[in-house]
Amino acid sequence: MALASVATISAGTGALLAVSMNSQPLLQSQLSPEEAAVFSEGDPILSNSSLRLPRLTRPVNILVLGVKVLTSDLDDPLGEDVGYHALVNSFEGLSDTMLLLRFNPRTGQLVVMSVPRDTRALVSGVLTKINEANLDGGPALTAEALSDLLGGVAIDRYVRINVQGVEKLIDALGGVTVNVPKDMKYQDDSQHLYINLKAGRQTLDGDQALQFLRFRYDNHGDIGRVQRQQTMMRAVIEQTLNPATIARLPKILSVIQSHVDTNLSVEELVALVGYGSQTSRSDVQMLMLPGNFSSPAEYELSYWLPNYDKIDGMVQQYFGLDSVQTMEAASPSYLRVVIQDSTGDNVATQSLVDTLYDSGYRNVIVGEELNETLPETRIVAQRGDRASASMLQQFLRIGEVRVESTGNLDSDITIQLGEDWLGEHGAAL
């Protein structure tokens, strides 16, 4: 352990020395004093010591924006006309992805809230899609719009990355292994966008990861993209966010430097990576902004309409000053539980339905089967209700609880049934 600690400190120190000639080496845009003031300047977020890496001293909220800019989006495109709508290394466009990350050293948690880009929100006094905020006023206006949407949650820093940067980042990390839930095929010659992925668990390189993230041509549209983003983020966190990543930080930064814009300092970046490397999987909690699809009769455009009552509850639980998961479990009779089977055993699935019904879970349905076999059941708190998911796990005596939005969209709890259910109850089936 001592040797590992020394190695980690040495690697981190080397990373700092390699990139700290400029305290903000990834800052690509200049913020005006008014824009800079949007980002919280309260108590210091770091503690520094000559004997260890920088550490977080308080909860920190980071706005992350993924931006896709095409030549057709620019009034004065740079370079020669290539004959199609090419991607541009720019940050001044509509945000394609929006996340709010909370690193909370008081609870040991990393919370990720996904905000659908079609969310209807107030931007510069106008109700519109929240992804327009970056185009109209950059990260500062986006932070203001998101903070207002969440009832005043302070945002400390921002990170903007364009799609080319995501591709280079995945390649720099050596790829990422995910389960592609279905065959994904799409072609758009006007953008030279060609998506061709087969279903199944596989390791994706940067280009393939981008195809996985950009695909949105299914029944769930933008919300399906949010689910795939969460799947990809969890995979990256679990596979690459470890102490060894700190040692590779200079190389990673050099590869993606021109594709990232952030007001994080080097010390802050190292502290966040260090925090993430020590966060257990069960403490990585992924949420989606509560809401519903608009109907064609309501608005000309398609929106994700925020549910403000549920947003207030989620903010209080996960983004409060001393947020801890103290919410009481809901009554089983009120919970909507959806089962997604991965075992291919209809008898096992029906036995789970019967077990739940006999125990008071009266709103249980069987959803679509998964395309991969899970060794361990996942009990997914689709809407962030960890208490109810934990109670269900204790009752079933199998599986792991995951707070994320990758289950059935209409569920409160999604049970992704694995082979451990057969191991626990196989003799009785």
Distance CA 323, CA 319 (A): 6
Residues in the chain where the model's pLDDT stays below 50: 1-14, 17-19, 21
* CA of residue 205 relative to chain centroid, distance: 19
DSSP secondary structure, 131-198, as one string: THHHHHHHHHHHHHHHHHHTTS----EEEEEEHHHHHHHHHHTT-EEEEE-S-EEEEETTTTEEEEE-
Distance of CA 318 to the CA centre of its chain: 15
The predicted pLDDT at position 267 comes to 87
What is the rounded CA–CA span in Å between residue 402 and residue 280?
A: 12
Instruction: List the structure tokens of 196.
Output: 């061709």
pLDDT at 78: 59
Q: What angle do CA 318, 319, 323 make, to 5 degrees?
A: 60
Instruction: Please enumerate in sequence order all residues whose Cβ is within 8 A of that of 30, keeping only pairs 6 or more positions apart, or say none.
Output: none
Looking at the DSSP bridge assignments, the partners of residue 109 are: 104
3-state secondary structure of 237: helix
Is residue 389 within 8 Å of residue 427, measured between CB atoms?
A: no
407, 385 contact by CB (below 8 A): no
pTM of the model: 0.88
CA distance 33 to 282: 39
Amino acid at 213: L
Tell me which residue has tokens 């550490």.
55
Which neighbouring-strand residues pair with 123?
126
Angle (deg, nearest 10), helices 2-19 and 266-277: 150
Q: Quickly tell me which residue has 């799947």 as its tokens.
A: 231
Which structure tokens are listed for 106?
Answer: 């008081």
Residue 258 and residue 167 in contact, taking contact as beta carbons nearer than 8 Å: no
Query: Tens of pLDDT along 306-363?
Result: 999 999 999 999 998 555 555 678 899 999 999 999 999 999 999 999 999 999 999 9
Alpha-helical (H) ranges within 319-419 are 346-358, 386-396
413-to-96, 339, 363 alpha-carbon distances in Å: 28, 9, 11
The DSSP code for 128 is E
Q: How many other CB atoms are there within 10 angstroms of residue 17's CB atom?
A: 11
Distance CA(198)–CA(246), nearest Å, equals 33
